[in-house]
């Protein structure tokens, strides 16, 4: 990403209040007096999404909130990957606290990103009023900022609040901050914003995305995958409405992107489509027509090994860190047919030997493979998700025929032409088939936790909590747990966490509780 610039927001440390900006930031009043620095500030917002800080240190970022961290943490909150080391132990075993690093840094960096978005919105409105930029340009930049604000608030609400399905959004939400914070007066105003309800958060998220859809171009001019456009706003609305159980809403939004046709799905907006091979969105991560929005990374902007997707997911024999393996229970699942190309192309077996014996010969995710430069972009939403979101909504509303067409579009492109596993009639349980397909298609993309939380109360397909998880001690070093011929089930030693357990959601950071008077009594119960 070229031309990175952070906006000065005037808050010194998260020990006083949620961290809002890097220390070397340019003052906002300087940024918005020149069209060139406004554009740099917009790039800076995206860079904040990619890197963020780690424990108040911007030189040691870990990919918060939408670089590597949101994807890694969302996978470790689920059961389809196995934690192999201490790096993700707290998240994997749900031993987090108001001071544990991952959940604290997610909160801090989400709200830092939100504040940069808010400062951009305020700044470009004033700049347009003074004639520095046109009203149309200001509306476009505000659209991008409101897209990122919506994305960040949704990430916060699904991690720190109960799901929308619990009481139709009546449970306590997260503070929806929609004003810039820089001066002492603005800080005081921001502190008055309470948690509200989940439903209120969703209403504001959708309002931001509606604005973004209206004001963003169909084809962003600069690196269209890494800049929010009209299609990204619509695609994100399909996800948000899926979390709300608004099936008709999902269908209405997805239809704008071409999912109501009789096949050969192509979006009339920006030409999004499924690529012929399931590995193409990852091999061509910075330039392809399936990725609707991704967060850009490069050798220069990815701060270190601990923020890179390839390092975190990759096996040791390919220069990764070997921290997380694909769960054999997903790899062996009966719904994942043997000749599926996503197994051969997007999973890789580690082949290492210690003391003359196999060592952790497990399967690892292979979507991210730039182990040298660590430049794989973080996929946020792909056309495949829009298709499966629409498929589930159609299936839930009884239109099995359209659901099957959409489901098959994703499933069939992962099968070789000679496969005998093509389906000609819908599965007996179309919804279950789609939910299983999501687990295969989005493995390693951070979609597992969002599906766990949104489905937790579903009377038919619900998880009723965080599923039981396999531990390293459950796996055999020779890799024999992975066997798609006999398909054994590996027993999970780490038991399920019920939905009623306080650990189902993350705690708010202690720094926020201690320094923000409005939230001092608003900690999630149990922490």
Residue 209, in any domain of the structure: yes
Residue 522, in any domain of the structure: no
CATH number at residue 208: 1.25.40.390
pLDDT at 303: 60
pLDDT at 181: 86
Domain count for the chain, please give it. Answer: 1
pLDDT at 16: 33
Q: Which residues contact 495 (CB under 8 A, 6 or more apart)?
A: 468
Residue 320, in any domain of the structure: no
Residue 428, in any domain of the structure: yes
pLDDT at 19: 39
pLDDT at 306: 81
Residue 523, in any domain of the structure: no
Structural domain of residue 401, as residue ranges? 7-310+328-505
Cα separation of 253 and 232, whole Å? 11
What is the separation of C-alpha 106 from the centre of its chain, rounded to a whole number of angstroms?
A: 12
pLDDT at 14: 33
Residue 518, in any domain of the structure: no
Q: Read off the tokens for 449.
A: 């936790």
φ, ψ of residue 413 to 5 degrees: the values are -70, -15
Residue 339, in any domain of the structure: yes
pLDDT tens series, the chain, 527 aa? 322 334 433 332 333 334 334 444 566 678 899 999 999 999 999 999 998 888 777 666 778 999 988 899 999 999 999 999 999 999 999 999 999 999 999 999 999 999 999 999 999 999 999 999 999 999 999 999 999 999 999 999 999 999 999 999 999 999 999 999 878 888 888 888 999 999 999 999 999 999 999 999 998 776 689 999 999 999 999 999 999 999 999 999 999 999 999 999 999 999 999 999 999 999 999 999 999 999 998 877 766 778 789 999 999 999 999 999 999 999 999 999 999 999 999 999 999 999 999 999 999 999 999 999 999 999 999 999 999 999 999 999 999 999 999 999 999 999 999 999 999 999 999 999 999 999 999 999 999 999 999 999 999 999 999 999 999 999 999 999 999 999 999 999 999 999 999 999 999 999 999 989 999 999 999 99
Residue 516, in any domain of the structure: no
Cα separation of 170 and 68, whole Å? 31
Q: Which residues contact 300 (CB under 8 A, 6 or more apart)?
A: none
Of the candidates 367, 283, 357, the one whose C-alpha atom is nearest the C-alpha of residue 324 is 367
φ, ψ of residue 222 to 5 degrees: the values are -115, 115
Q: How many CB atoms lie within 10 A of CB 161?
A: 23
CA 262-268-271 angle, 5° bins: 105
């Amino acid at each position: 990403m070229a031309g990175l610039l952070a906006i000065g927001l005037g808050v010194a440390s998260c020990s006083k209040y949620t961290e809002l900006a890097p220390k070397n930031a340019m003052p906002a009043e300087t940024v918005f007096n020149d069209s060139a620095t406004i554009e740099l500030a917009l790039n800076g917002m995206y860079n904040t999404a990619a890197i963020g800080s780690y424990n108040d240190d911007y030189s040691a970022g870990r990919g918060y909130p939408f670089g590597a961290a949101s994807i890694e943490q969302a996978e470790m909150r689920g059961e389809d990957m196995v934690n192999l080391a201490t790096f993700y132990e707290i998240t994997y075993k749900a031993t987090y606290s108001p001071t544990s690093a991952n959940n604290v840094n997610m909160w801090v960096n989400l709200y830092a990103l939100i504040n940069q978005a808010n400062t951009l919105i305020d700044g470009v409105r004033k700049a347009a009023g003074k004639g520095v930029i046109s009203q149309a340009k200001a509306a476009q930049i505000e659209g991008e900022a409101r897209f990122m604000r919506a994305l960040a608030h949704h990430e916060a609400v699904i991690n720190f609040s109960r799901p929308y399905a619990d009481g139709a959004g009546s449970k306590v939400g997260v503070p929806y901050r929609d004003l810039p914070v820089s001066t002492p007066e603005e800080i005081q105003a921001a502190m008055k914003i309470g948690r509200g309800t989940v439903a209120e958060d969703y209403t504001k998220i959708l309002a931001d995305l509606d604005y973004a859809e209206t004001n963003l171009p169909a084809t962003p001019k600069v690196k269209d995958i890494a800049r929010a456009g009209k299609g990204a706003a619509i695609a994100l609305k399909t996800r948000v409405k899926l979390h709300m159980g608004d099936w008709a809403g999902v269908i209405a939004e997805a239809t704008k992107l071409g999912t109501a046709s009789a096949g050969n799905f192509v979006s009339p907006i920006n030409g999004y489509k499924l690529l012929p091979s399931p590995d193409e969105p990852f091999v061509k991560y910075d330039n392809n027509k399936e990725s609707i929005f991704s967060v850009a990374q490069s050798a220069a902007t990815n701060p270190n090994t601990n923020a890179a997707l390839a390092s975190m997911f990759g096996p040791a024999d390919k220069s990764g860190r070997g921290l997380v393996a694909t769960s054999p229970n997903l790899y062996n699942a009966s719904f994942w047919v043997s000749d599926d190309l996503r197994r051969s192309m997007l999973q890789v077996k580690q082949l290492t030997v210690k003391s003359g014996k196999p060592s952790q010969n497990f399967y690892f995710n292979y979507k991210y493979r730039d182990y040298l430069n660590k430049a794989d972009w973080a996929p946020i939403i792909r056309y495949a998700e829009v298709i499966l979101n629409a498929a589930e909504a159609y299936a839930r509303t009884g239109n099995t025929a359209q659901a099957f067409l959409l489901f098959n579009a994703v499933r069939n492109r992962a099968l070789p032409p000679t496969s005998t596993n093509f389906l000609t009639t819908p599965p007996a349980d179309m919804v279950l088939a789609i939910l299983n397909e999501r687990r295969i298609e989005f493995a390693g993309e951070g979609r597992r936790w969002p599906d766990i939380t949104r489905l937790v109360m579903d009377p038919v397909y619900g998880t009723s909590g965080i599923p039981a998880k396999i531990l390293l001690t459950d796996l055999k070093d020779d890799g024999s747990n992975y066997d798609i011929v006999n398909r054994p089930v590996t027993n999970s030693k780490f038991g399920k966490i019920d939905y009623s357990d306080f650990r189902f959601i993350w705690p708010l950071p202690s720094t926020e509780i201690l320094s923000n008077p409005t939230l001092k009594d608003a900690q999630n119960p149990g922490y």
